[in-house]
Structure formats: structure tokens, C-alpha cells
Amino acid sequence: MTTGTRADQPVADGRQGDHTVRHQALLYGDEREFLAGTLPHVREGIEAGAPTFVVTPGNEAEALRDSLGQDAQAVQFIDPADVYTNPVRAMAAMTAVAKSLGPRPAWVVASDDWSRYRDAIEWVRYDSIFNLSFADVPFRSCCCYNTAVLSSDAIALVRQTHPKILEGDVLRDNPQYREPEDFVGDLDRLPLASSPQPAATMRIPPTELHAVRAFVADQAKRCGLSADALHNLLVAVTEVATNAIRHGDAPVTLRTWPDDGLICEITDSGNWQPEEFISWQPPESAVDSGFGLWGVGMLCDTVQVRTGSNGTTVRLRSA
């Protein structure tokens, strides 16, 4: 059984002493439904005198600006391409905002064009982990999903990652919501998409990581990776290869192939998968580095880890 309130009747806000996250999904099919869900949310933030952010593509941002009129001056509009560059960087940006605001609540409306992501499932993971990472942060976050564009499978995932769902003007508790530990655990059991054959392959010699970097640099030249992207990828591959050698079992293998950029996949025969969410937050110290996976996540477009009976695979995408 679900409970519901009108969208213009807030469940809780910072003025009422609620210092926990409110993470809801707006499911809409057209601009009218988008505005019906987002306008009350934005006005709630404005009326609370709180920092209010709109992180949406241009057409949705303009629709909100026009509807808000002069009140739009109280809202910070941000291009989603500046925030959603990769999931780990987006998490870092939100963490920085939370730290800058301290106990003050913030209202956020967010949406993006999912078609621009090659590994969209990692953004679903981001949405789930958001509930855990910001559980004690007074964000009032409304994530917007266009049901006329997204597949039914994508909407089903949205329903599993948001504790509340806004449809029409009614905000309801979401019985399909799953706790991040369970949801992310299931994602980590999904096999990675098959790589094309043949892929360029090399065995990683334990004491010759310079050969690994030379191999990756040669493959990167073939797919037009920029100098900055190549530098970041070389640092990331070196970090992952070092940890595979240190924590895994031989043989350690590197495979690469072009795919709107370059994908590098490091596989070993060990089982060294770190704690589930350690790669999503910066390490507290250089000693407790979380295998450097947070840094790797900051450097690459996406990082995917799978561990099973046949070993551990880390797949990096850089474009």
C-alpha cells in the first residue's frame, strides 16, 4: 500500500528540522507534466530561502525559466553536461555542494539525455548509491525521467532507485524501491557486455608496467584519443594493473578495443574486489586508498568491476 500527497504539499523540508535526503523521481510524458511536477518543487526551495538548483537540458531549463518569471533569478541553472561527466565525478560534485552548504537544505531538479551515455547502467548505480551517500544530507532532489523517451526497462530501474515517485501531482512512497546494498549487489552480478573479437591483448609482466603504458598509448593513437584523455587513461590502467598484480593471481591480462574511444580491460585470476561502495567516495587517507579505484573513476568515463570464480575484471572506458 502506498501513501500519497499533492506535489505542492511537501513531505518535509529543512524548516521542519528534517536533515535527511528526500530523493524522488518525477515520471513525465510531456512538458506540461514536467512543469506540473518541477514547478512546485522549485518554488518550495525559493520560498524556503534555500539554495535551489536546476540541472536540466536547455529546453527543460527554458520552460522552467519562463514559468518562474522573475522568481527564476533565485535559481541557479546549470548545464547537466558540466555536472554529469561521469558518475564518480558527479558524486564528487554533489559531495562538494553538500559540504559547502553544511546543515542548510538544498532543492535540486535534475534531468539529462540518457542517450548520450554508453554505459547508462552506471548512472542507475549512481542514483541508487546517492540514497546511501547522502542519507544524512538535507537534499530535496527531484530526478526527472521522460517516459515518452525512455524504455520500460529503464523506467523499471528508476523505480528501484528512488524512495518516492511523483506522477501527475501526487507524490507517493515507492514500494518498488530497493536498498542500495541489494540493488548494487545485483548489478555487480550482471555479466559485462561481450567485447568484440579480436581485441588487442597482452600479458602484463609484473615488473614492466612501462610496456603496458606503451601498449595502451599505441592503441589509443588508433582511435584518436586526446592527449589529456590518454594521460588520464595511462594513470588509471597503471593503477588497476598494479593492484591486479599485488592482490590478484597470475596471469594478469590486458585487452583493449575501440568503442567511441578506447576500452581497456584488466583481468586476473584472483578475487580482490573491494568493499561495495569504496570507489564512489574519496579515500580518507593515502594509506586507506581503496585500491585507488576512486581515483580511477575520476579519470575514466566509466569503471566497471566484476569478480567471480574465474577472477576479477576491471573495465575502463575513455573517450
* Torsion 138-160-185-318 (CA) sign: negative
Burial 46-85 (b: 16+ CB within 10 A, else e): bebebbbbbbbeeebbebbeebbeebbebbebbebeebbe
Model confidence, pTM: 0.87
Query: Can you give the length of the chain in residues?
Result: 319
CA distances from residue 231 to 226, 240, 282, 296 in whole angstroms, order as listed:
9, 15, 20, 12
- Tell me the backbone φ, ψ of residue 172, rounded to 5 degrees: -125, 150
CA angle 305, 130, 57 (to 5 degrees): 100
Cell of 153: 526497462
Task: Give residue 135's Cα distance to chain centre.
Answer: 16
pLDDT of residue 273: 61
Cα 308 to Cα 319: distance, rounded to the nearest angstrom: 28
Contacts of 217 (CB under 8 A, 6+ apart): 230, 234
Pair type for strands 106-110 and 52-55: parallel
Cell of 5: 500527497
Q: Splitting the chain (319 residues) into consecutive groups of 10 residues, what average pLDDT does each group show?
A: 43 50 96 96 96 96 98 97 94 93 95 86 94 94 95 94 90 95 92 86 93 97 93 96 89 94 93 65 56 88 88 94
Contacts of 211 (CB under 8 A, 6+ apart): 202, 205
- Within 13 Å of residue 81, how many CA atoms lie on the same side as its CB? 4
pLDDT of residue 271: 72
Considering only CA atoms, which of 83, 33, 85, 75 is closest in space to residue 54? 75
pLDDT of residue 286: 45
Considering only CA atoms, which of 31, 36, 85, 27 is closest in space to residue 60? 31
pLDDT of residue 12: 38
Q: What crossing angle do the helices spanning 209-222 and 227-247 adopt, rounded to 10°?
A: 140
Q: In what order do the strands lie in the sheet with 76-78?
A: 4-6, 170-173, 164-167, 22-28, 139-146, 106-110, 52-55, 76-78
pLDDT of residue 307: 87
Cα 133 to Cα 131: distance, rounded to the nearest angstrom: 6
pLDDT of residue 275: 57
Task: Give residue 6's Cα distance to chain centre.
Answer: 29
